[in-house]
A and B are shown apart, each in its own frame.
Chain A
């Protein structure tokens, strides 16, 4: 994809992010941080490409290290968010 196409997606996504985040209820700001943490670990895509590529051993090991770090974040981030969200309960009536 050429740069302008990618850049357009980026700018539009910033606007989507702006509106979506303002609609998050303040009570859930901590889960918002932990879930954004988890999804920003989508950087694992780059780590997987590096780990699978032939041609440079150091690049591959850096990739594998990044896969471990990103997985900690993905699993930890989603798990801790789920744990927090499960605690939010309504009044029993």
Chain B
């Protein structure tokens, strides 16, 4: 029977691999590459996503065919198959409901939650392989696991566990269940380095001794280190953390791919691992911080103590109203809107787009400028603006638009602060010195929407833009302010 021959040919993980299955996994790996390739432009991205789905379907069907549950006499075990299909069905329902219901502003939490699931799934798979190594073809007849497989498995479970517990903390911080402020344990660097060294030492020892205590101690320590690594990192550094955990989830998949000798998993793991690493690098560069300093933590609580940086002398500033803002912008030729995390918090993106539409009706040229670390994850602002129906060709990245502030009449800053601070360019003593910033101060007029004058950005530094002659401070909730400006614009009788 053909089915059985497929079954037996694929029985060995590292050993005899069914050539058709190997080709199928390669195809699915290539489809995953094309899925990421599609994201080079919004025009091709949806097709790319469908390539990804096709790749996943091929990988799952191939595995079901080559590793179908079998009864003792070699026939298809229908109960076993139904159990598997039910498991997939449960996951599908939960996943699709989550994907439909989630608010776009909550996307960072959702991504963190998904990362934690990849991590936990990797842990479960590694544990299953440890408990039943023959089924994975990674042990000899006596149950001795191959040395290479022990290293792969040890790394897989360690990275998986770190991904899980780290992502759970990131989720709790992003979701507001846990304060975004860094939590600093005394002697944490010593504790962390000690735990990491212990994990590496035990994985090495695992190659000599495959006893359960070694395996489960590695698992336990890895859960602990994931937790310890993320609690001292503040809310504003979350874009780096989320990207880093993204990278880890890839490496975990790659490690399990090595264990199973599966090309689809290895290619995917390498893709996701490099993707997360590159995103972390981009985020660090956009904050002019080193990866090490982010990991060391302690920076960027959501509510850094006011007055922490610089003297707090009272400097004069100019308040303005929604009507003033509406008048100034309707008279302008070019307006650049700079959104930040505050816009996401206030859910102001729809009101902001209406404001943009009103201005365009009056013949104003409206553009949006996005700083790479605005928001809580890479590309966060772009998604929110897209949700509000802002066309993506009106939205520009920092390096593409920064030269245009000098020619623009109004820079409208809403919910952003540090990313506009000129001190990053001039003041060597500033904690944000060297960070690339949007040159809003070069605009003829700056309208700065902010909740109050008291608060400072996450870096705890004052922003000179507030006190410039051409700046008008619009104090209030971002959404209410944008709504009021829309009202004032539509009431102006054009």
A residues with a Cβ closer than 8 A to B are 1-3, 6-7, 9-11, 13-14, 16-18, 20-56, 58-60, 62-92
Contact = CB atoms under 8 A, between A and B. Distances in A.
Classify the interface of chain A: helix, strand, loop or mixed: helix
B383 A31 contact: yes
Nearest to A11: B270
Nearest to A64: B87
A73 B49 contact: no
10 A-B pairs closest in CB distance? A71-B91, A76-B95, A29-B379, A53-B135, A17-B274, A75-B95, A13-B270, A29-B378, A79-B99, A50-B128
Contacts of B202: none
Contacts of B83: 51, 64
Interface of B: 14, 17, 25, 28-29, 32-33, 35-37, 39-43, 45-46, 48-49, 52-53, 55-56, 59-60, 63-64, 67-70, 72, 80, 83-84, 87-92, 94-96, 98-100, 102, 104, 107, 110-111, 114-115, 117-118, 120-122, 124-125, 127-129, 131-132, 134-136, 148, 242-243, 246, 249-250, 252-254, 256-276, 278-279, 282, 370, 372, 377-380, 382-383, 386-387, 389, 391-395, 397
Contact of A51 (B84, B91, B260, B267): B84
Contacts of B266: 6, 9-10, 13
A17 to B, nearest CB: 3
Nearest to B120: A69
B397 A66 contact: no
Classify the interface of chain B: helix, strand, loop or mixed: helix
Contacts of A29: 279, 282, 377-379, 382
A47 B37 CA distance: 27
Contacts of B41: 25
Nearest to A45: B63
Contacts of A9: 263, 266-267
5 contacts: A14-B270, A25-B39, A32-B378, A37-B118, A37-B272
Contacts of A14: 270, 273-274
Given A10-B254, A37-B249, A63 B128 contact: yes
A76 B263 CA distance: 24
B80 A51 contact: yes
Residue of B132, B252, B257 with most chain A CB atoms under a 10 A cut-off:
B132
Residue of B29, B52, B397 with most chain A CB atoms under a 10 A cut-off:
B52
Contacts of A63: 124-125, 128
A56 to B, nearest CB: 4
Residue of B107, B264, B395 with most chain A CB atoms under a 10 A cut-off:
B107
A91 B36 contact: no
B42 A28 contact: yes
Nearest to B391: A91
B49 A82 contact: yes
A22 B48 CA distance: 16
A8 B231 CA distance: 36
A54 B377 CA distance: 43
Contact of B84 (A23, A31, A64): A64
A33 B259 CA distance: 25
